[in-house]
Amino acid sequence: MKDTSLSKVIVVGAGPAGLLLALMLAKHGISVEVVEAKDAVDSRPRGAAYGPAAVSVLRRAGVLDRIRQQGLCVDSFTWRRVDGTVINRLTGMNRNPDKGGFICLPVYDLACLLYDELSQFPNARVHWNHRVTAVLQDERRAWVECENGKNFAGDFVVGCDGGTSTVRKSLFGSSFPGHTWDAIMVATNIRGYDFSKYGWEDTSWIVDREHWAVVALIDQQGTWRVSYGEKGSLSHDELYERMPAKLQRILPGHPTSDQYTIERFSPYKLHQRCTEKMRVGRILLAGDAAHLNNPMGGLGLTTGISDVGGLADCLEGIHDGKAGYEILDQYDQIRREIYRTVTDPVSTANLARVRSDPAALAGGQDPFFAMLDKSREDASVLDDIEKKDMGLLVDFTQFYHTNKVNGHTNGLVTSHASLTHWDRLVRYVSAKTGQTRYGEPLADLIADIDQLVAEGTLKVRPLEGSNWLAAGPSADEKEDLVKELLGPLTPRDVPIIRCTGLNYRTHIIESNWDIPTNPTLFIKPGQAVGDTRAPIPVPKLSQSKCDYEGELTIVIGKDAKNVSEEQALDYVAGYVVGNDVSCRDWQLDKDKAGMMPQWCFGKSFDKYAPVGPAIVSPKVLGDASGLRLRTYVNGELRQDADTSDLCFGVRKLVSFYSTGQTLEAGSLIMTGTPGGVAAAMKVPRYLQDGDEVVVEIEGIGKLRNVIKFDE
């Protein structure tokens, strides 16, 4: 798409996400048409809680003061047994209301408030009773077709139309990856019952295998939201019939149904799902249309509003000429990553906690409750909780262009996209549980984590996620002890290894080659990846001339094709230390390699590309220039160089190797080795059985392996 203008956006869905996005865009001078199937704001009881990330977006939208006047500032959260006794409590969450905090206001009231605000803007309009039946696009525009025959067109269509999103289905059909829980949530609004005389205030979670629930005061008129779990197999009528008995069991004082008034009753299924993409061309998704999660902890609303804040950044930047359409790819990837690494695992843990046996949470057995215990003595724990919530929000203005030349953007951005939620990642065996996990070292960058492991003192912040790229901070644990350090990547993580031959000037000179015009490429399979501190098996046919090659290794974080050097770091997740183990006879000897040198067979045996000890993000190392690299064999220094000696640096290699071909996420680029390899010695000193090879790169650490000849 060469045209990167933006003047009008079509928003499908007049819920909180859609109306908030429309309001933010309208305030910025962008015309907005909101298309809604219903005839008014949906009044069903749903979410009501907003964390600090959502509060930040609502403040930016200019509606926070009205929300605070109408809603409640939440100061405490309590976990109780079904008989009402307290298991644990978190207080002080409203100690700094000017900075954010937690707010409670039913989504119906929020949507009405947003609609009222939006109605003041002549460049925005909401079309009620317009059910969308089709969503289409071409190179110049996107549009929706409605059941009543009307069409609405704009530069973009944004689906904010909830979990059953028509916009999402127009893109992916019935596909919505994830799962549905084996339970139903029944949301009720209760009036006329005095919870306070039982000491209940703000929000309480009922922890019980059968009668789990969340009970919260949601407005200043004394309305309480009581949402409880039921069996997934029950019908709507059965759920309604069981409601009085369930509420009598859950509510304090165990009242009968004549002691309170039910204003709302709304059963709904619980899901954990995230769409394949949040951007397809000119069609975008946000909020529940893009992802769903169970309501424990209010992460659905907060994540959805954070989506809106990020998408508003992107669309406003395009409108102002500060960003191109490619910023929407950042939105797509980063927002889905946040769901996978934060919203999904944290909300899942929250639900598991309330559905557990209360006895299993006592005595510090639950890490989250142990953190709450600590918060009563250490106020910084409360700050950490708020910071984690703020991690749901990303400032996409960081991806705006830095400047313009004659009115045209030059393609440079203020900083490069962060593909990870960590600065350093290790894979390790936990001393506490024996499980293999991901973590971030709790040690200075200059600390020798290899030595700390040997001493049994390396501590990490546990990371949770389905793989290294998705790993994010654990919701419940702040610290773990490393028993064994593994390589950060496994062969399954690495689709291919692209290797660079003759890239250090010193190595080129010692090899009697000319300085190349372009990088020299050869390939290793992903199966060659090995762990740090693991033996390197050397097959019988290659034991006579086994050599080492210490190398800075690039880890690709997202698929890259035809990437410019300026954009290259946007695709780099981090750097590891690598060793390009090589059999020189199968590389160079004519009786084995053939008439021409060949670099694949003798370098591609299993475990011939060990990497470690950590992946370090470009947030820490930038383009990795100026790093000292050293290789030791049995303690003897063999290679000593600086990455500034590279002929082709990180940016050039990523750009060159992505030309006309796709660098898949997880691919490695070994950048080449400096002088000092055994093959270049006057009397070559090749590796022998039992030799220890240590490759060390400043800022990353030491890769340590022992050579093991196959028998």
User: Is 405 a residue whose pLDDT tops 50?
Assistant: no
Q: So what's the pLDDT on residue 599?
A: 66
Q: So what's the pLDDT on residue 190?
A: 94
Q: So what's the pLDDT on residue 414?
A: 32
C-alpha atoms less than 13 angstroms from C-alpha of 580 in its C-beta half-sphere: 30
Of 2-16, 588-602, 606-620, 651-665, minimum mean pLDDT range: 588-602
What are the residues facing 125 on neighbouring strands? Answer: 33
CA–CA dist 705, 695 (Å, integer): 9
User: Is 593 a residue whose pLDDT tops 90?
Assistant: no
Q: So what's the pLDDT on residue 511?
A: 67
pTM of the model: 0.59
Q: Using alpha carbons, select from 235, 178, 185 the residue that is nearest to residue 215.
A: 185
Q: So what's the pLDDT on residue 404?
A: 30
Q: So what's the pLDDT on residue 275?
A: 95
Q: How confident is the model at residue 413 (pLDDT cuts 50, 70, 90)?
A: very low
- Whether 8-397 and 496-709 share one fold: the answer is no
DSSP string spanning 170-186? HHHTT---EEEEEEEEE
Q: So what's the pLDDT on residue 403?
A: 27
Fold of the CATH domain 8-397:
FAD/NAD(P)-binding domain (3.50.50)
CA–CA dist 573, 571 (Å, integer): 6
> For the chain, how many residues are written?
711
Of 70-84, 137-151, 686-700, minimum mean pLDDT range: 70-84
Of 134-148, 417-431, 443-457, 653-667, minimum mean pLDDT range: 443-457
Q: In the predicted model, what is the mean pLDDT of the chain?
A: 89
CA–CA dist 563, 654 (Å, integer): 7
3-state DSSP assignment of residue 277? coil
User: Is 26 a residue whose pLDDT tops 70?
Assistant: yes
ω before 674 within 30° of 0 (cis)? no
Q: What value, to the nearest 5°, has the Cα angle with vertex 193 and ends 187 and 197?
A: 120
Q: How confident is the model at residue 411 (pLDDT cuts 50, 70, 90)?
A: very low
Q: So what's the pLDDT on residue 99?
A: 57
Helix (H) or strand (E) run with residue 56 in it: helix 52-60
């008439």: which residue's tokens?
A: 595
Q: So what's the pLDDT on residue 443?
A: 82
Q: So what's the pLDDT on residue 149?
A: 95
For the chain, give the longest Cα–Cα distance. 97
Domain boundaries, the chain: 8-397, 424-486, 496-709
Of 54-63, 310-319, 396-405, minimum mean pLDDT range: 396-405
User: Is 412 a residue whose pLDDT tops 50?
Assistant: no
Radius of gyration of the chain (CA): 29
Of 93-102, 125-134, 543-552, minimum mean pLDDT range: 93-102
CA–CA dist 551, 350 (Å, integer): 43
User: Is 159 a residue whose pLDDT tops 70?
Assistant: yes
Q: How confident is the model at residue 463 (pLDDT cuts 50, 70, 90)?
A: very high
Q: What percent of the chain has pLDDT over 70?
A: 93
65 burial type by CB count under 10 A (0-12 exposed, 13-18 middle, 19+ buried): exposed
Average of per-residue pLDDT across 21-49: 92
Fold of the CATH domain 496-709:
Fumarylacetoacetate hydrolase; domain 2 (3.90.850)
Taking only the tens place, the pLDDT of each residue in 34-46 is 999 999 999 888 8
C-alpha atoms less than 13 angstroms from C-alpha of 570 in its C-beta half-sphere: 26
Q: How confident is the model at residue 402 (pLDDT cuts 50, 70, 90)?
A: very low
Average of per-residue pLDDT across 169-187: 93
Average of per-residue pLDDT across 542-564: 94
User: Is 690 a residue whose pLDDT tops 90?
Assistant: yes
User: Is 565 a residue whose pLDDT tops 50?
Assistant: yes
Q: How confident is the model at residue 1 (pLDDT cuts 50, 70, 90)?
A: very low
User: Is 287 a residue whose pLDDT tops 80?
Assistant: yes
CA–CA dist 483, 467 (Å, integer): 20
- Cα 563 from chain centre: 23
Q: So what's the pLDDT on residue 117?
A: 96
* Cβ atoms 630, 549 nearer than 8 A: no
Q: So what's the pLDDT on residue 139?
A: 85
